[in-house]
Structure 1
Amino acid sequence: MIAAAAPEVFGGRHLALLGLAAVLGVVVVWGARRLRGHPAERRVTCLAGWLLLAASLAWMGWWMLPENWDIGRSLPLHYSDVLRIIAAVALIRRSRWAVAITWYWGLTLNTQALLTPHPSQLRFSPVEFPFYWGLHIAVLLVALLVVWGLGHRPGWRHFRIAYVAVLGWAAIVMVLNSWLGTNYGFLNELPPGDSILDLLGPWPIYILWEIVLVAAVWGLMTWPWARRRARTPARQRSVGGSGRGRYRATKKPRQGRGTEPGAPD
């Protein structure tokens, strides 16, 4: 009997999963825009946040089981591990720092796990396959939801929050990797299999390139929103302001299709 070929990156199964993520992204943004400003908005997003948190903790707990324990895989030290918790906080609390990190990390670092997964993640298994793909897609959807759906507007302050956080987490994890002999975050050596990091040179050169490229890409992700905000009258911007660190979205106007929502902090 001939063994079935292993799924390939950008093969049929992988492209189907990416297509599913794209379709769900459109649906989530459309639904969030319809829900924005409605009394049920906060209840729905809070429920989604708690579900994401519960699933993330269950996934962490599964790796902690004795039969699954592996010092190099079981600790929640990858960027995607902490990002899932932060994305849940963004939905539940709408904290400015959580929304900022979810937007920048979710559309870049998290997306790398979707675009260039290890081939083993494409093999179907009853636990790892649905959790890996379901949680990574969920975080991508949260990033799209909070900005394109609920109307949060990134600015340079949010860029700084996310950038300082990514550098701080990298420093902590690199120290732990050196101590434990692990490679969480792929910060101490290149990941196995093909990756975009292969184009950036050996360690530590690719780390330096990452620092530069992340700043450049995130800057491009910020500039259109900051430019639009600079053109928005201060009266409209003040609608979403908050001195307590909450990151509020502008309510979608109920009447007047030509009215454009303001751009809060």
Structure 2
Amino acid sequence: MFIGGDSSLAPFEMFQFQHIIMITLLFIGIIVIYVTKNKKVQRSVEIITALSLILFEISYQLWLLLTGNWEIHHALPLELSSISIILVIILLLTGKRELFEITFFIAIGGALQAVVTPVLNFGWPHFRYWHFFYTHIAVIWAVFYFLWHKAYRLKFWSVIKALIFLNLLLPFIWLINNWSGGNYWFIMEKPAGGSLLNYLGPEPWYILGMEAAAVVMFTALWLIFGRGKESVER
């Protein structure tokens, strides 16, 4: 039940207790990070958090292999939430301000949506359940930690940097999709069933709708959180 490949033994149910408790934990953590923003956090906490994310990601890849579920068209860490995990790991280890400017928008835009509306088959107490929510929640907590505890600043130029970063990655994601038969970032086709992408126009023009949605979302995040103090360089 904990590591098996059959989701029917521990199915995930959206907006039931096992989901609501994680959403609640996410927002409680954000509040705690804000309330304690003037308290010093040991450097070791940043390193341990980064190492825990690395361990979880390696364990996830091993689990996919051991259960026979590893397929190149879906298992590569190329989705936005996976990219945000990689960026947060590097941010925790290096503390680079320039990286924070990009990571904040991608992490909030990708991981927050993933926690609220998860694409997840395995529920409590399965390994995949813990992997999914730990990594996504930790990513969100990490960027708010850098925003409030370390007083890293978001500027409007940060929005532009994040958009440029994503658009530089886009052609590589498209090439990998063509090579692997995957649909990373949903740029090859819309996901099956109902999706917000259905409201962004027909194929392939919905990709421009995704671009516009990213501009609106990132700008809104800057308006809400971009009034911080000058960042402290390491």
TM-score range, shorter chain: 0.7 to 0.9
Name the structure, 1 or 2, with higher relative contact order (CA <8 Å, separation 6+).
2
CA distance 1:70–1:91, change in 2 (3 Å): same
Query: Quick one: distance in 2 between partners of 1:46 and 1:5?
Result: 32
Gaps spanning 5+ residues in structure 1: where?
Answer: 241-246, 249-265
Q: Match of 1:259?
A: none
CA distance 1:68–1:31, change in 2 (3 Å): farther
Query: Quick one: distance in 1 between partners of 2:110 and 2:186?
Result: 12
Q: Match of 2:21?
A: 16
Q: Report 1:92-241 matches (<5 A).
A: 92-118=93-119, 120-121=121-122, 123-124=123-124, 126-223=126-223, 228=227, 237=230, 240=232
Does structure 1 conserve the Cα–Cα contact (< 8 Å) formed by 2:38 and 2:149?
yes
Does structure 2 conserve the Cα–Cα contact (< 8 Å) formed by 1:190 and 1:202?
no
Does structure 2 conserve the Cα–Cα contact (< 8 Å) formed by 1:49 and 1:92?
yes
Letter in 1 for 2:137: I
Does structure 2 conserve the Cα–Cα contact (< 8 Å) formed by 1:83 and 1:105?
yes
Query: Quick one: distance in 1 between partners of 2:49 and 2:64?
Result: 23
Q: How many residues align?
A: 227
Query: Quick one: distance in 1 between partners of 2:125 and 2:177?
Result: 28
TM-superposed deviation, 1:160: 2.4
Stretch of structure 1 that moved more, 73-82 or 26-35? 26-35
Does structure 2 conserve the Cα–Cα contact (< 8 Å) formed by 1:106 and 1:143?
yes
Gaps spanning 5+ residues in structure 2: where?
Answer: 1-7
Does structure 2 conserve the Cα–Cα contact (< 8 Å) formed by 1:60 and 1:76?
no
TM-superposed deviation, 1:124: 3.3
Q: Match of 2:46?
A: 45
Does structure 1 conserve the Cα–Cα contact (< 8 Å) formed by 2:12 and 2:124?
no
Query: Quick one: distance in 1 between partners of 2:13 and 2:58?
Result: 29
Query: Quick one: distance in 1 between partners of 2:78 and 2:120?
Result: 21
CA distance 1:64–1:163, change in 2 (3 Å): farther
Q: Match of 1:244?
A: none
- Post-superposition CA distance 1:40-78 (Å, at most 9, x none): 533322332232233223323433447232223221221
Q: Match of 1:90?
A: 91
TM-superposed deviation, 1:178: 1.8
TM-superposed deviation, 1:171: 2.1
CA distance 1:77–1:4, change in 2 (3 Å): closer
Provide the secondary structure at the position in 2 that maps to 1:153: coil
TM-superposed deviation, 1:23: 1.2
- Post-superposition CA distance 1:139-178 (Å, at most 9, x none): 1111211113321111133222211111122221122112
Stretch of structure 1 that moved more, 200-209 or 98-107? 200-209
Query: Quick one: distance in 2 between partners of 1:8 and 1:125?
Result: 12
Query: Quick one: distance in 2 between partners of 1:194 and 1:6?
Result: 20
Aligned-residue CA RMSD (Å): 2.8
CA distance 1:58–1:33, change in 2 (3 Å): farther
Letter in 1 for 2:18: R
TM-superposed deviation, 1:224: 5.5
Provide the secondary structure at the position in 2 that maps to 1:201: coil
TM-score (normalizing by structure 2): 0.83
Letter in 2 for 1:183: N
Q: Match of 1:243?
A: none
TM-superposed deviation, 1:199: 2.5
Percent identical among aligned pairs is 24
Q: Match of 1:254?
A: none
Does structure 2 conserve the Cα–Cα contact (< 8 Å) formed by 1:72 and 1:183?
yes
Q: Match of 2:3?
A: none
Q: Report 1:4-83 matches (<5 A).
A: 7-35=12-40, 41-65=42-66, 67-83=68-84
